[in-house]
Structure 1
Amino acid sequence: MVISGGALVTSQVLVARYANAVQTKDLFGNAASGATKQQVSDIKGPLNILLVGIDPRNDTTAPLSDSIIVVHIPRGLKQAYLYSIPRDLRVEIPPFEKTGFKGGTSKINAAMSYGSSIGGGKHDVAQGFDLLAKTVGKLTGIKKFDAGAIINFNGFKDIVDAMGGVTMTIDQNVKSEHLKPNGKPRDRRPECADNKCEHPYIGPQAQYKKGTYHLEGWQALDYVRQRYGLPRSDYDRQRHQQQFIKAMAEQALSKNVVTNPVKLDKVLKAAGDALIFDGNGHSVVDWGLALKSLRSDDMTLVKLPGKSLITNGRYLGEALDPSAEDFFAAVQNDTISSFLIDHPDFLQKL
């Protein structure tokens, strides 16, 4: 979108504005985001990008990563493979000197929380991302991520609205746990005021039926956040989130967005409120130039097989099937396409 907008109006001022539209921070603990600017030509595949979705929180609340997606782009930069890490996956979280965390086994979505404390009861989501990236790297064997982004879910809704909605195929009937059919929050049970109830809401529910629809921002976000009542719970939600990203890419690159400077401006402003980006010394415009040939049809969605860990009737989290190790090896060797030919069950259905 950034590159298309720059091509519309060949102005250095406009390109600089787009480059500054998205907030940048050091997400990997190496001050790379403030490093001397590098050449676009330095962005070469294979690449691994870490995307993390969070609920909006203030700096006095420890953040939790509600969605974790890794994007692998092979050598040649002509394809993109997306795979989700289950938020409840039990993993080994490494020690983190900045917060004094000594390491241990926990659900992976807690890693950001363990890494976020900056003292005085304050939390820094960017610092928390650093520990999460180290945890995902330990799990997958990825030694260094080439870029990363934190996505604020509420801000993402504003991006969809700025684009004029998103067309998406809904692959199963889903009821909303959180919202009424008009998009307003559902009523909460009086006895659940402390947020300790598993299903604290009552009353009419927004519903999403199988089929292809053009969704408003609140509908798209609500749909991809649901997991209660789904046959495979978070695994179904992971699939919906990947489908959403692909639909977003297709909508963003459509002519009614990238050839409309007014709409493009609105989208970029919304993105600035929704995203924190670290391109490891490269700006978002650099990344746009490097990946300008990628389109939604070039995105392949991957599912990692897993199962619930239950001991004495107690749910402990999720565990990946041992075959996931072979997939991670394919990521490291940049041979995902060959792996998927031999393991078609890893392909996420559209």
Structure 2
Amino acid sequence: MVISGGTLVAGQSLISKYTGDITNDALLDTDAAQAGKKDIKGPLTILLVGIDPRKPTTPPLSDSILIAHIPKDMSTAYLFSIPRDLYVEIAADEKAGLRSHHAKINSAMANGSQVNGKIDVVNGFKVLSKTITKYTGIKEFDAAAIINFGGFKEIVEALGGVSMKIDMDVKSEHLDPEGKQRPRLRSCPISGNCQHPYTGPQAYYKKSTKPVRLEPWQALDYVRQRYGFKGGPPMSDYDRQRHQQQFIKAMAKEAMSKDVITDVGKMGKILEAAGESLTFAGGGNSPIEWAVALKGVNVDDMVTIKLPGGGKFEQGTNDYLGEEFTQPELAQEFFDAVKADSVAQFLLDHPTLVNKDS
């Protein structure tokens, strides 16, 4: 790889060396994916899915669903989340034997991955992607990625940690102050449906006015929390969505501040760390080529977006079905703005959708 005039030019052999194991364009179930390599030009829409670190023999649940929209001038990025419990129509899939039905959206990938008694994560991702497309009307994703949060800590370690502002007091459901797993309550076995199944001291992330340096385990633990604690502020999955968006932004800033994009050694170290925790589809372009194409994005101007939502219940009962957008027409107008590449103007007209940190 040669640095010339501030531009990183990557040889195909080195691209293959660093990215061959993590690239799988089959994730993009579109005509564009089949058409071969194309130039990376805005506007662009990217689907990012975080799965929980389960065994390879168990269906993956899409715990985090984020979409990044990059406008035509590729000057910034807009990040928004699809709630994991959003109650939607799950797309039919012949390969997985799925009929169209209504359920929480995080079941789309899990059910779509079960093909002939085996786990097919790629097919599960396609079912999820089709479900999102049908719900939002966003017809095509230019790139996509599956991130296993269990192994993602190694990527953050390769970056040396991240700095991010803690916007509310948060206690960890899972880890103690040293980063070790908290003991499980005897009254709540693994198979039990307990909201707070652990006991003992908790890792504590105190609200800050300025960015604080987080160790890799702390950053990942913080962005996975969705339960409040006694004496603390109420918390929900919508807070977790916001924190995950902030985390993506913080990682982008960390990479840019350390010139990762133009440093062969640093880029290689991060891609090697990503080996077992990342699957990427770039429409014929490698992760390195995407990184180079997006190096002009101003991460300080990156905008994180909240779409208001709440619980959805069976009519006439208190049976919880999942989540729904409390202003569905507004949410659809936002999705239409993504399709029309007019997000900037839409947010000027609806400033309350912009998270305060943006």
TM-score for the superposition, normalised by structure 1: 0.91
Q: How far apart, in 1, do the equivalents of 2:305 and 2:285 lie?
A: 27
- Report if aligned partners of 2:70, 2:76 keep a CA contact under 8 Å in 1: yes
* Contact 1:6/1:15, CA 8 A, preserved across alignment: no
Larger mean CA deviation between 209-218 and 265-274 belongs to: 265-274
* CA distance 1:150–1:10, shift in 2 (3 Å): closer
Q: 1:113 to 1:3 in 2, by over 3 A?
A: farther
Q: Percent identity?
A: 54
Distance 2:123 2:161 in 1: 32
CA drift of 1:108 comes to 0.5
For 1:23-172, list aligned pairs within 5 A.
Answer: 23-29=23-29, 37-39=36-38, 42-120=39-117, 122-172=118-168
Aligned to 1:215: 214
User: What's the CA shift string for 1:166-199, capped at 9, x where partnerless?
Assistant: 1111000000000011101000011211242221
> What is aligned with 1:316?
321
* Structure 2 CA distance for aligned equivalents of residues 256 and 44 of structure 1: 22
Task: Give the whole-Å Cα distance in 1 for the aligned partners of 2:4 and 2:156.
Answer: 17
Deviates more, 1:312-321 or 1:20-29: 20-29
User: Quick one: which of 328, 332, 345 aligns to 2:335?
Assistant: 328
Query: What is aligned with 1:340?
Result: 347
- 1:189-217, Cα deviation, whole Å (9 max, x unpaired): 11211242221101110000012311111
Unaligned runs of 5+ in 1: none
- Of residues 239, 250, 253, the one that matches 1:250 is 253
Post-superposition offset of 1:20: 3.0
Tell me how many residue pairs correspond in the alignment: 345
Deviations 1:315-347 (A, max 9, x none): 221111221111111111111111000000110
Shift of 1:297: 1.8
Residue 15 of structure 1: CA displacement? 4.3
Cα gap change, 1:290 to 1:126, in 2 (>3 Å): same
Match of 2:286 in 1: 283
Q: How does 1:175-190 map to 2 (within 5 A)?
A: 175-190=171-186
Task: Verify the 8 A CA contact 2:78 2:305 in the aligned structure 1.
Answer: yes
Q: CA deviation at 1:60?
A: 2.1
Cα deviations by residue, 1:9-62 (Å, 9 ceiling, x for unpaired): 8673544433436342511346976x57524xx322222110000012233211
- Taking a change above 3 Å as real, the CA distance of residues 48 and 223 of structure 1, as seen in their structure-2 partners, is same
Alignment of 1:15-26 (within 5 A): 15-20=15-20, 22-26=22-26
TM-score by length of 2: 0.89
Pair 1:294 & 2:291 matched: no
* Contact residue 23 and residue 272 of structure 1 kept, 8 A: no
> Which digits, 9 at most, give the CA deviation of each residue in 1:60-110, with x for residues without a partner?
211110000011111122221110001011011121111110111000111
Tell which deviates more after alignment, 9-18 or 210-219.
Answer: 9-18
Distance 1:24 1:7, change over 3 A: farther
Are residues 4 and 328 of structure 1, via their aligned partners in 2, closer, same or farther at CA, if it must alter by over 3 Å?
farther
Identify which range, 87-96 or 284-293, moves more after superposition.
Answer: 284-293
- Paired with 2:56 and 2:254, the residues of 1 have a C-alpha distance of 33
The amino acid that maps onto 1:26 is A
Find the aligned partners of 1:106 and 1:53 in 2 and give their Cα distance: 19
Counterparts of 1:277 and 1:290, CA distance in 2 = 15
1:240 equivalenced with 2:243 (yes/no): yes
Indicate the larger mover: 337-346 or 270-279.
270-279
Q: Deviation of residue 219 (structure 1)?
A: 0.4
Deviations along 1:131-159, one digit per CA (max 9) or x if unpaired, are 00001111110111111100010221111
Structure 1 contact 6–14 (Cα < 8 Å) conserved: no
| Shift, 1:296, TM fit | 1.2
Which structure dedicates a bigger proportion of its chain to helix?
1
Query: 1:27 touches 1:126 (CA, 8 Å); kept in 2?
Result: yes
Question: What is the DSSP-based 3-state SS (H/G/I as helix, E as strand, rest coil) of the residue aligned with 1:348?
Answer: coil
